[in-house]
Amino acid sequence: MPYGDNQGGGDFQRTWFDGDWACAKCGNKITRLPFKPDPSRLDQLLCQDCHREKRQAFRGGGGRSFGR
């Protein structure tokens, strides 16, 4: 990541990765990811909705049944 480019700080620009994936949970199409997907985890990708749900479930406590 190039550092030293003065963009005023604060508003950090995210790099989006375009592609054609499917959500492992709801099957929704994923065309963009805020991170570079790991090729070995392409079948575990979550769409933004599911990702947010997962995070909320995490915070809600008692999320021990997660996983298989």
Q: Which residues bind Zn ion (CB under 5 A)?
A: 23, 25-26, 28, 47, 50
Task: Report the alpha-carbon distance of residue 8 to residue 11 in Å, rounded.
Answer: 8
Q: Which is nearest to 30 in space by CA: 39, 41, 22, 40?
A: 22
**Least distance between Zn ion and beta carbon 57 (Å):** 13
Q: Which residue, 52 or 63, is less far from Zn ion as judged by CB?
A: 52
**Least distance between Zn ion and beta carbon 31 (Å):** 13
Q: Which residue, 33 or 47, is less far from Zn ion as judged by CB?
A: 47
- The number of beta carbons lying within 10 Å of the beta carbon of residue 49 is 12
**Least distance between Zn ion and beta carbon 9 (Å):** 33
